[in-house]
Amino acid sequence: MSERPAEAPVPSTRWTLATRHLGWEVRVFDAIESTNAYALTLTHDPTLHGLVALARSQSAGRGQFGRTWTAPPDSSVLMSVLVFPPEPLRRPAVMVAWAAVAVCDVLERVAAIDAAIKWPNDILVGGKKLCGFLVQQRTTGHADEPLASVVGIGLNVTQTADDLLAAGLPDAASMSSVAGKPFQVDAVARSVIYHLDEAYERLLAGDLSTLESLWQYRLGLLGKPVLAELADGSTRPGVLLDVGFGGVTLRDGVNVVRLAPEAIRHLSPTS
Lay out the site mask for ligand BTN across 86-125 (x = CB under 6 A, - = otherwise). Answer: -----------------------------------xx---
Which are the contacts of 202, defined by CB distance < 8 A and separation ≥ 6? 210, 211
Pairwise CA distance, residues 86 & 28, whole Å: 27
**What residues between 58 and 77 interact with ligand BTN by CB under 6 A?**
58, 61-64, 67, 69
Beta carbon of residue 53, minimum distance to ligand BTN (angstroms, whole number): 8
For position 36 contacting ligand BTN by CB under 6 A, the verdict is yes
With CB under 6 A as the rule, give the number of residues binding ligand BTN.
Answer: 21
Q: Shortest Cβ contact with ligand BTN: which residue?
A: 132
Beta carbon of residue 143, minimum distance to ligand BTN (angstroms, whole number): 29
Closest alpha carbon to 186 in 61, 64, 56, 99: 56
* Residue 78 bridge partners (DSSP): 55, 154
Q: Which stretch binds ligand BTN (CB under 6 A): 94-102, 128-136, 246-254, 261-269?
A: 128-136
Q: Are 36 and 134 in contact (CB under 8 A)?
A: yes
Pairwise CA distance, residues 183 & 167, whole Å: 20
Q: Which stretch binds ligand BTN (CB under 6 A): 33-41, 92-100, 247-255, 262-270?
A: 33-41
Q: Are 44 and 156 in contact (CB under 8 A)?
A: no
For position 80 contacting ligand BTN by CB under 6 A, the verdict is yes
Q: Are 133 and 36 in contact (CB under 8 A)?
A: no
Which are the contacts of 211, defined by CB distance < 8 A and separation ≥ 6? 94, 97, 98, 101, 199, 202, 203
Beta carbon of residue 194, minimum distance to ligand BTN (angstroms, whole number): 18
For position 152 contacting ligand BTN by CB under 6 A, the verdict is yes
Q: Phi first, then psi: give them for residue 209, nearest 5 degrees.
A: -75, -30
Instruction: Out of 134, 178, 264, 267, name the contact with ligand BTN by CB under 6 A.
Output: 134
For position 156 contacting ligand BTN by CB under 6 A, the verdict is no
The contact set with ligand BTN (CB under 6 A) reads 34-36, 58, 61-64, 67, 69, 78-80, 121-122, 132-134, 152-154
